[in-house]
Structure 1
Amino acid sequence: MTTSFNYQQAFSRNIGWVTTEEQAVLRGKKIAIAGLGGVGGSHLLTLARLGVGAFHIADFDKFELPNFNRQVGATVSHLNIPKADVMVEMAMDINPELNITSFNQGVTTDNLTEFFTGVDLYVDALDFFAFTARENVFAHCAEHDIPAITAAPLGMGVALLNFLPRKMTFEQYFQLDGKSETDKILNFLLGLSPAMLQRGYLVDQTAVDLINHKGPSTPMACELCAGVAATQALKILLKRGKVLAAPWGLHFDAYRNKSVKTWRPGGNKNLIQRLAIAVAKRQFISLIKTDVRT
């Protein structure tokens, strides 16, 4: 026996935390998500369950076995299938009335304008090392007054930054322009996580290989990211409650049982940040030299 889909019934359990009128507002909003891997797929499904009515999604990759520990669309039946195709199917299975456009070639300079057409909010889920794409995307958001959220999965926690219209931009905060690959990695990591709550419980240092763009991850962090990002999205789209904007951020680590509100005025230009990045760079170079010798 099949039951026809009904939007009001499907998302009726949201009511109470949002009003009926607010649920209708969410139904009329469009969110862009670039990247459908560790956090992107979870972002999409969480926001679909919140009742958001339209999405632009982008990813050029296919699901592989190393994705299984954290990516919501990674299953045996989805192996070697484009992530965007899988996630469209999963999201439409939650809400068949979704207006969802897929960019299977990823976000490029050629489709950037189309990707953001009619978009109310951007949720970042690009690969950590996709610096060129991320810089282009956030620059477009700043230029066109599109609020942007990044929730980074770090260890067993989440680090959040919001970049809101006419406030500090992504580039002003992270200072990536003109930097080397190594400096971008360190600036981005330390900028995302000034508190570095995840430091201290990594049990195998050899699992981190930033030079070759590899690092460990957990499903818990990805799901925490989805919950935190969706909450910020709700507040931004409904204009409810205080939304922290960069240089303010939040870092919650479930393993450490700690939550910190971070503040780095000037972003990575901040003296504390410059010192932390300098120390991290010395450690990074030392590790590289050790690897070369061995």
Structure 2
Amino acid sequence: MTALHDYLRGQASDGLLSWARQRQAMVRFGCTCFQVEEAALTLGILPARYQRNRETIATADQLTLLHSSVAVVGCGGLGGYVVEELARLGVGHLVVIDPDYFEEHNLNRQLFSLPANLGHAKVAAAQKRVAALNPAVTLHPLQEALGIDNGPELLAGVQLAVDCLDSITVRLVLAEVCETIAIPLVHGAIAGWYGQVTTQFPGDQTLQTLYQNRLEGKGVEQKLGNPAFTPAVIASLQVAEACKVLLGHQDTLRHRLLSVDLRQMQFHETAVPGQPSEQ
């Protein structure tokens, strides 16, 4: 490890390690991409792929993200963008859960949906994409439906779950599982021009409050559909929330619901009924 550290110090320029030097270190020392990135960040050296992060995310925080583990539940419209952005952000371990295969109606909005992927598992496409995008990130594809019985096992070891589901029933199950294993949950939902985001911590019961009178299987998106832009916007807000939770920031949407109207270009924040208005 000392030799690797000395090599990285010698190869860094302006506190940055280029991808070419990172690959050379992997070959020279027989290390994985994750191990080289971890070593560089430990030394305060930033892999050059993250150089546009460093005025927003400190190098020490980048290391925290590398050591973080996040479950993305649902790999469709929201989930594809969430997976993509978490991988680009440098979150080192992703667990992606979705039982479905790509169909033609996914092509208008789902990031990993391509004509060549029709009939293929969504989680397999996510794994292939992340491996090509950021080799320091490990993605575990779980082609399973999350339920109350298998949920704790599927989410074992993660620090945070991101709700990218299209079923009220299943997202309430996810909320219950997160409560059981005591991890935060970043919720997102979309329908047509509209979406919403909130963050729930153990004990909050936020989703149970939001959906207490809406227990049908599918939400309003079943009627309104979803264009290409809505999942991209809401997923990005979810990833921003996930980043803050992982880095221990206090200014999250906890106890608050952010509603987005892209037709009127309005963002409206409300306190979740029955919840404290402040963290």
Q: What range is the shorter-chain TM-score in?
A: 0.7 to 0.9
Secondary structure, counterpart of 1:88 in structure 2: helix
Following TM superposition, by how much is the alpha carbon of 1:27 offset from its aligned partner in structure 2, in angstroms?
A: 0.5
Is it true that 1:224 corresponds to 2:257 in the alignment?
A: no
State whether residues 157 and 220 of structure 1, in contact with CA within 8 Å, keep that contact through their aligned partners in structure 2: no
Q: Deviations over 1:13-70 (max 9, x none)?
A: 2111100000000010000011101111111001111110001111111111110111
Give the equivalent residue in structure 1 for 2:124.
Answer: 85
- Output the amino acid matched with 1:227: S
Partner of 1:278: none
CA distance in 1, matches of 2:92, 2:194: 28
Moved over 6 A (4+): none
Residue 50 of structure 1 is aligned with which of 89, 93, 101? 89
Q: Which residue of 2 aligns with 1:259?
A: 267
- Tell me the TM-score normalized by structure 1: 0.73
Q: Name the aligned partner's letter for residue 165 of structure 1.
A: P
Partner SS state of residue 100, structure 2: coil
- What is the match of residue 112 of structure 2? 73
- Report the equivalent of 1:270: none
| In the alignment, structure 1 residue 162 sits paired with structure 2 residue 171 | no
Amino acid at match of 2:175: F
SS of equivalent to 2:205 = coil
TM-score of the superposition, structure 2-length normalised? 0.77
C-alpha distance in structure 2 between counterparts of 1:41 and 1:55, whole Å: 12
Amino acid across the alignment from 1:148:
L
Q: SS at 1:91's partner residue?
A: helix
**How many residues are aligned here?**
235
Q: Which residue of 2 aligns with 1:99?
A: 138
* Structure 1 position 236, deviation (Å): 0.8
SS at match of 2:215: helix
Q: What is aligned with 1:114?
A: 153
Percent of matched pairs sharing the same residue: 26
Q: Please identify, of 133-142 and 220-229, the stretch whose mean Cα deviation from structure 2 is larger.
A: 133-142
Write the deviation string for residues 74-120 of structure 1: whole angstroms up to 9, x where unpaired. 11111111111001111111111222211112323443122111111
**Deviation per residue, 1:100-149 (Å, 9 max, x gap):** 2111123234431221111111100112x351x32221101112221001
Q: Cα distance, 1:255 vs. partner?
A: 2.2
CA distance in 2, matches of 1:100, 1:230: 16
Tell me, which stretches of 5 or more residues in structure 2 are unaligned? 1-18, 24-32, 38-46
